[in-house]
Structure formats: C-alpha cells, structure tokens
Structure 1
Amino acid sequence: MDNIAGHKSGLTWAVHLSVLFLVLLWIFPTVGLFVSSFRTSDQISSTGWWKALFPTEQNSVYRAPSASDQIEQGGVFVIEGNVFEGSATGDIAHWGVSSREIDAYAPGETADLGEDGRLTLNADGSFRLENTEAFTGSRGQRIFVTATTPPEFTLANYEFMLFDPRNSEGMTKAFFSTLTVTIPSTIIPILIAAFAAYALAWMEFPGRALLIACVVGLLVVPLQLALIPLLKFHNNIGIGKGYLGVWFAHTGFGLPLAIYLLRNYMAGLPRDIIENAKVDGATDFQIFVKIILPLSFPALASFAIFQFLWTWNDLLVAMVFLIDSSGETTVMTRQIVEMLGTRGGDWEILATAAFISMAVPILVFFAMQRYLVRGLLAGSVK
C-alpha cells in the first residue's frame, strides 16, 4: 500500500531531505562570505554573519578628552563629547567607569568621581564631565560602554579591493591572469577529448578496449604524483614557468575525466543516426562535426563546468607551473594567500576578496547547471 499512486515512499522523502541538506550545506558558507564582505571589522569580530540583520550589543572602552579640552561655564569646568566617534551610532544599554563594574550605571545617570568631578552619559552617547575645579592630567577619564548598535553594511570593502590604488592593481592583474589561465585550460581539453571520445565510442580499431581501460585508470592517478616529473619535462622543453606550461598541465590532468564523460555520452547516442549518415556518404569527420558535437552539448557543458571551476580555484598547479616574482601572472587564489600574510586580521577585506574570486565561477555554474546532471548521467542507463 505504500507504493500506490498518489503516495510517496519514506525513501523518497529521505532522498529529498538529504538533497535539501546538501544544498543548504553548500549555500550557508557562500551566503556567510557574501554577508561578511559588506560588514565592518568590528561587526565581524563581535558577532557572526547570521546576526548581521539584528541589533547587537558591543562592549568598548572610550577615553574622554584630556584636560586641555576643558572649558569653563559659569564657574564649572566642563569636558563634553560623544562615545560614538566618527559615523558610528547606537544606543547605550549601560555603562561604567571601572572595568569591574561596566554596567554600574544606566543611560542618563550621573557617576560621582569624587575629586575628579561628575560624569553623565546619555543614551545617544553624549557625555558631560564637570568639576568645580580645573581638570588636570594628560589622560582623560575612561568610560566602559555597552551599546546596542543597529545593523550596518558598507561598500567600503569593495571600493578598497576594486578601486583603491594600494590594492586594486594587484587584484585586477590577478583577475585577468586567472582568466588567461582558465579559459584556454577549459577549451583545449574539451577539443582534444571530443575527438578522442568519438573515436573510442564509434570507430573500430585495434586496442580500443585497452585505451578505454587506460583512461579509466588515469582517473585515479593523484595529481601530486605527476607534478614534479611534469615540471622537469616542461623545463627541459622550455615551456615551464609560463602560461603555456600551465595550460598543458591543466589539459593533461583534465583529459581523463573529459574523455570518460564524453565517451559515455556519445556511446549512448542512437546508432541509427550514425549509420544513416554513413549510408548517405558522410565521413567520420562530418558525422563528428555536424551530428555528434551538437547532440553532445550537455556533456560538453557538464565537463566545462567542472574544468572551469577546478582551474579557476586552483592554487597548487599555479604555484608549481606559474611562478612569477614580478606579479604579472599571479592568479587570484595566490593573491588571496598573499593577502593572508599582510592582512591576516582584516577579515572583511579577505571575505571581500574571496567573494570576488567566487563571483565568476558562480555565474558560470548557474548559467550552465541545467546541463550538469544530463551530462553526468549520460551512459548510465540504456
């Protein structure tokens, strides 16, 4: 009775819930990085990104102006100011004049400082320190403040990353260097793998089964195992430490998966179409260009997504095959790593840089994701 029409089995609901969990697991870090890129450093250090839309309480210490800023009003010496310096705003929840009692007073109450006068702090952050005798000393009174600050978002992080001369030049070069590495490293293996996949799927020749087995075996070869031998080979033939070397490296590492996916997809195409084309006198090249490639677009797009994401986010291959002390060929992943060394505490800047590097892969994925499942499932059923 569980499988009658109109009812879904428990396994179906389990699958749906599992997929939903995986989607949320992937989305949460991305959303968190996006939200953090619009927050200030104080907000990031005090609360998590999930609290960005809600007011938060922050503890801070403010030091009042020194005695040199006092003025005399009717025989009373006064120092005035506001604990919310600059453009900061908020509401005072409570305050104090000692680190042991930071919540001793409510907004609007007056603290008796003895010989140092009296201090009144209002809810808007304005304070008045007054005394019948002139203030002395070069250091002002400390005020421990607990304030409720409203949500605040800023574009200053993106302005610094994209337009500030101190940083924008490096990120701009890194962005175009990454494009220079990624686009050819995606197109070249697709072109080579498409020809190879057609030959393995539809052309009869000795050793075809052995070649297919070799392609499957290459899928499990660790990338790190081939780095040093491949780098030595590139140096011997004169293409190391440059774009050409890194293109060939990404092509070699991506070809096994590309050939495997495309071969499975092409082998599942209707045989009648190919046989009819041969009867009409079409050559293998004409069949490949005019029939196979248009029908194989979902598989081509599926691999293009994987290869683009891999090469765009790659750091290891770029560090090995694309070393440039001048910074002309530095990719974005390496640029962000260098920023970790110089701006390890500026989490808002690092979050902004990371999200900028993610923007292009996200656009590519959502533009071509409808072909992803169709390409991956190709050849799995008959």
Structure 2
Amino acid sequence: MTAQPAGDVNSSPGRRRTARPRWAVAAPPLPTERHAKRHKSLGRALLNVLLGLVAVVWLLPTLGLFVSSLRTAEANAESGWWSSLLSPKGLNFDNYAAVLGDGGIVHAFWNSVLIAVPTTVLVVILASLAGYAFAWLEFPGRDGIFLAVVAMLVVPVQIGLLPVAKLFGAVGLFGTLPGVVLFHVAYGLPFAVFLLRNYFAGVPREMLEAARIDGGSEWIIFSRLILPVAGPAIASLAIFQFLWVWNDMLVALIFADSGSQPLTVALQSQMRQFGSNIDVLAPGAFLSLVVPLVVFFGFQRYFVSGVMAGSVK
C-alpha cells in the first residue's frame, strides 16, 4: 500500500486541486476604478470648497457688524470695518456697555422675548392638536376645513393689518403685547397645521390601532405616541416660528406702542440718525442677531429632518 504525499491528503485520483500561494496578493484595481475614485475625491473636495465659500459669504456681514460694534463712531466714519482687522487696538466693548445701560433698548429686548416665546409655544400647541385631529380623527367636514386652512397660506399678511387693527382697537388689544402675540399666532397657524398634519399622517396606522386595542385613549395616543415620534417636525416648526417672530418688524411697527415695541422697532427708530449713532445701532443690531444665530446653530439638524419628513409623508 502506497501512502499519499503529505500535501495531497484531501486530493482524489484524477482530481487535482492547486492551492493559492501564501505570498499571492489581490490584483490591482483597474484603471477605470482608479479614475472613478480620483474623480469622486476631486468632486468632494470641490464641493467642500464651494460650501466653505458660501459660508464665508453668509458670515461676512455678521463679522462686519460685530467689528463695527466694537469701534467708535469716529472710527466707523473715517474708515471701513475691515481696516480694524489689520490694527485691532481700538476695538473695545464700550458700545455694548452703553447699549446695555440704555433702559429703552433693554426694555425692547425683553419685549421681543415676551412676543416670540409665547407665540412659538401657542403655535406649536395649537398646531399639534389640530394636526392630529386632521390626520387621524373622523369628524364632519374635516377635509373641507383642512383645505380652508391650507388656502389661508396664500393670504398676504398685509391684507389683514387694517381690519385686524380696527378689531383690536374695538376690544382694547391694539398697542399691547397680547395683541401682537395673537396676530402672529393667527398668521402662523396655517403653515404649522399644514406641516404637522402631513407629518402625523405619515405615522403607521398599525401603531395607532395597536394602542387603541390596548385601551389607549386619543389623548394618550397623542401625548405618548405621536408627540415623541414627531419630535423633529415639532422642533423645526418651533425654530422657524421663533425666527420669524423675532425678526418681524412690520406687525410690531403697527400693533405695538412705545411701551410694547420689540427690539427691531426700537432699532428702526434709531435709523433716522444712523450717521451719528452707529455706535448704538451696531451693538444693538448684533445683540438682536445673536439670539437667532444661537437658535439656528444649536438646532439646525432639526431643519432638514423635520421639514423634509413633513413634506414627503
């Protein structure tokens, strides 16, 4: 009996298996694959450069406003703000100390907070309840009422200024903070209801039916199931609504008096003497800009996830 060689234990007569040498390496990628990877890397680098340039263009006015707020009125009148980047010795925070010491500007800042925050909270609460009702509750005329709400999106805000002003004057709300808040709530609800209704309608029906089988009421389903799932959409709506109201000047200019005017109106009243009081306008405008910037950069990830989800579902 002849013994098989040590390297051919698993081989059979007539069948030979050749083992791959241990020193063999993978074949190099084809030239087309190398070119594709190179073009992909080059395209990604060009995209990053383009996005960087767009970011610089967007942030350049903010940088100019901040540098101008640190300069004296004489320096701003003599040269542009970019000259201080070469010699920043004259930059200081004296203008901010003067603005924060001005009781009128500080009062207007808190008026902006008292207008923007309650408006955002009311719009989010009312739109969430209405969006759930339009999406999952059956009641007579539901589709017609929803179409009427959506149709209000095309109504310009300028059309309602005069009639609402007369109405607020009759009921004693004209020239008050509640009047400004109610106007913003009324014109913010159509878009908010449209956005949240579309998002709520995308929630799987099986989740709601399972909750109802387990004995959950509509309020429990709404508060414990829908609201946690719709967190990105609600957050994005709150951010948008806050930014719109904070930056508004037209509505506040008409409906707010001297004691309830927000920061935008207070700064607009200073524009008549822009050449002589830029040391007040620049730091005041930057303080007004800081709040939207903090809100945007702090919650920007909710913009895409919430709005895109609500628009396609």
Q: State the TM-score, normalized to the length of structure 2.
A: 0.81
1:219 paired residue number:
153
Q: CA deviation at 1:26?
A: 2.3
Deviates more, 1:11-20 or 1:150-159: 11-20
| 1:338–1:236 CA distance, 2 compared to 1 (3 A) | same
**Equivalent residue in structure 1 for 2:108, among 143, 154, 174:** 174
**Equivalent residue in structure 2 for 1:272, among 188, 196, 206:** 206
User: Quick check: which one's helix share is greater?
Assistant: 2
User: Quick check: which one's strand share is greater?
Assistant: 1
8 Å Cα contact 2:175/2:260 also seen in 1: no
8 Å Cα contact 1:261/1:375 also seen in 2: no
2:227 paired residue number:
293
2:165 paired residue number:
231
SS at match of 2:61: helix
1:254 and 2:286 aligned = no
1:32 paired residue number:
64
SS at match of 1:194: helix
2:261 paired residue number:
330
What letter corresponds to residue 155 of structure 1 in structure 2?
Answer: F
What letter corresponds to residue 38 of structure 1 in structure 2?
Answer: L
1:356 and 2:290 aligned = no
Deviates more, 1:286-295 or 1:9-18: 9-18
Deviates more, 1:24-33 or 1:351-360: 24-33
Q: CA deviation at 1:249?
A: 0.2
| 1:54–1:18 CA distance, 2 compared to 1 (3 A) | closer
Distance 1:14 1:210 in 2: 49
Q: State the TM-score, normalized to the length of structure 1.
A: 0.67
1:245 paired residue number:
179
1:306 paired residue number:
240
1:162 and 2:100 aligned = yes
1:319 paired residue number:
253
Distance 1:281 1:356 in 2: 51
Residues 330-364 of structure 1 deviation map (CA, whole Å, 9 limit, x = unaligned): 21111111222245423232111100111222222
2:270 paired residue number:
339
8 Å Cα contact 1:261/1:378 also seen in 2: no
1:123-134 superposed matches below 5 A: none
**Equivalent residue in structure 2 for 1:282, among 201, 216, 219:** 216
Q: CA deviation at 1:293?
A: 1.1
2:86 paired residue number:
54
Higher-RCO chain (CA-CA 8 Å, sequence separation at least 6): 2
8 Å Cα contact 1:54/1:151 also seen in 2: no
SS at match of 2:158: helix
What letter corresponds to residue 123 of structure 2 in structure 1?
Answer: P
| 1:225–1:21 CA distance, 2 compared to 1 (3 A) | farther
| 1:381–1:193 CA distance, 2 compared to 1 (3 A) | closer
1:3-22 superposed matches below 5 A: 8=40, 19-22=51-54
What letter corresponds to residue 257 of structure 1 in structure 2?
Answer: F
Distance 1:189 1:360 in 2: 20
2:19 paired residue number:
none
Distance 2:125 2:165 in 1: 23
Q: CA deviation at 1:301?
A: 1.3
Unpaired runs of at least 5, structure 1: 56-149
Distance 1:222 1:369 in 2: 27
Deviates more, 1:44-53 or 1:151-160: 44-53
SS at match of 1:323: coil
